[in-house]
Amino acid sequence: MAMLLQMTTFLTQYLYGANNNVPKQSDALRIGILSTAMINSAALINPAKSHGGVIISAVASRNFDKAKKFAKQYDIPKAYGSYEELLNEPGIDAVYISLPNGMHGTWAKKALNAGKHVLLEKPFTANADEARSLVQLAIEKKLILVEAFHWQFHPAAHSLKAILDTGKYGPIIRTYARMTTPKGSIPRSDIRWQFGLAGGSLMDMTYVISSTRYFLGAGTPREVAEAKARPTSQDPRVDEAMEATLRYDIDGRMVESKIYSDMWRANALGVVPRIWETPSIEIETEHAVIYFYNFMMPHLYHYITIHDKRTGKTTTEKHYSGGPQWGNRGETWWSTYRYQLEAFVDMVHGREPAHWVTLDSSIAQMDTIDMVYEKSGLGKRLPTPDDVDPPRVA
């Protein structure tokens, strides 16, 4: 289902972007892209069309012909046949890194050392040790670095968080976050299945941990009570699926949070793909059971149901713009990526963003991922060695 959501986002953002081109400002942020990954169009290129403060200036690939083709397709002025060439370009202010997971840390460090701000795709790094090293460098360089958890920038996420924070429904008792993709949707040749590129379902579907932590307002769990991986038949080191139970200390209370990620979800009755299983989270509090359907791509469609245990009534909410953090900013057609870009530009220009994913949060995110992998017996992921040339699919 996650793949279908992304494809739908590509289409909608292309259509909205084409109809909402705006003139570029003289001080527009010039961004370069490291990789020719499919996600680039939805995550940055199309959102940038409606932002006067952003110009996509260059794209780089380890294959120059591929970079040129990509640049021509998306009307990007410059193409480079190596990532280093783009980072050495003085006209680039920031970079968006959508390389394979195991390469995130290495190239984010190189970008920071080249004086570029960094919008870094999730997961932040291969593991928490690498995350700490990267964060320290960003602090030393006084440059902006942020993990691209785009969903957190959407008004729907903020609205639910505000409801929880009021305490109207009492403290959180438990949570359950799920994200699946129908069996066969991700080809076995895809980089997400490769251990050497820090692949695995929990790495790719790290949203289940991100959503849990965001709504709990938590860092790392007190413990991972249990974690069960379903390894791929091709490589027992890579999780095809992962389910785990995390235990958090929240204001002196223990909250039990279950997570489930599955990149090869079996069809219902062996035939029907479970396309209804959008990334969702259920949150039970003392007085309510709250369900956020499609938290990952709420701009396409979502709903938040609140079942009040005291009255037995269920109410439904939807939030596509405004909200407690954006106020009058934003449009109903803005995607999560467009909201994210708005915040990124604000941060680079020294303005207070409506929302932000802190560096401490990204470290806690990787700490949690490491804890789950270690509990499962698979062991934490490792950075891709710098001298390894990955398959030319990103």
Closest CA to 198 of 277, 106, 119: 106
User: CA-CA distance, 134 to 131, in Å (whole number)?
Assistant: 5
User: CA-CA distance, 247 to 250, in Å (whole number)?
Assistant: 9
Q: Which two tokens stand for residue 286?
A: 């003392």
Q: Annotate 363-373 with b (16+ C-beta within 10 A) or e (fewer).
A: bbbbbbbbbbb
Closest CA to 119 of 31, 210, 10: 31
**Of 49, 78, 122, 141, which is the active-site residue?**
122
> Which stretch of DSSP H or E encloses residue 33?
strand 29-34
Task: Categorise residue 193: left if φ over 0, alpha if ψ from -120 to 50, beta otherwise.
Answer: alpha
* DSSP-derived secondary structure letter, 103: G
Q: In what order do the strands lie in the sheet with 54-60?
A: 78-80, 54-60, 29-34, 94-97, 117-120, 145-147
Q: In what order do the strands lie in the sheet with 288-293?
A: 223-231, 239-250, 253-265, 172-182, 280-285, 288-293, 303-308, 314-317
- Only one residue has tokens 């928490």, namely 128
Active site residue 116: no
* CA angle, 211 then 213 then 215, to 5°: 70
User: CA-CA distance, 80 to 285, in Å (whole number)?
Assistant: 52
User: CA-CA distance, 316 to 314, in Å (whole number)?
Assistant: 7
Instruction: Please list the active-site residues.
Output: 122
